[in-house]
Amino acid sequence: DAGVIQSPRHEVTEMGQEVTLRCKPISGHDYLFWYRQTMMRGLELLIYFNNNVPIDDSGMPEDRFSAKMPNASFSTLKIQPSEPRDSAVYFCASRSSGDKQFFGPGTRLTVL
């Protein structure tokens, strides 16, 4: 298994632009998580899905952030419009019921 796949690995954009981060979870995993990591705030859970349905999005910082999971093998995290304070590493993780989370390599986002 290739593990959790994220793309792009690095993204540099300008303030005000739309950013879309992508994640492919491990096949068979029915939970998917989006995290954000910064030096100041550490690793924060933004949202998680179960069977493609968003369960808890209380960690999403504001309306500029949105996440979707159209099917079991794909999820996106979108920021529109992006701001410099959104600069961080965004991780996607997946797991099956009652098991450990597997993290992807992350997307390093820089908003200028």
Q: Does 35 bind other proteins (CB under 8 A)?
A: yes
* Closer by beta carbon to other proteins, 36 or else 86: 36
Q: List the one residue out of 69, 78, 60, 79 whose CA is nearest residue 32.
A: 69
* Closer by beta carbon to other proteins, 71 or else 97: 97
Distance in angstroms (rounded) separating the CA atoms of residues 51 and 104: 19
Distance in angstroms (rounded) separating the CA atoms of residues 99 and 83: 35
Which listed range, 11-19, 21-29, 47-55, 62-70, lies at the site for other proteins (CB under 8 A)? 47-55
List of residues contacting other proteins (CB under 8 A): 4, 31, 35, 42-45, 48, 50, 55-56, 91, 93, 97-106
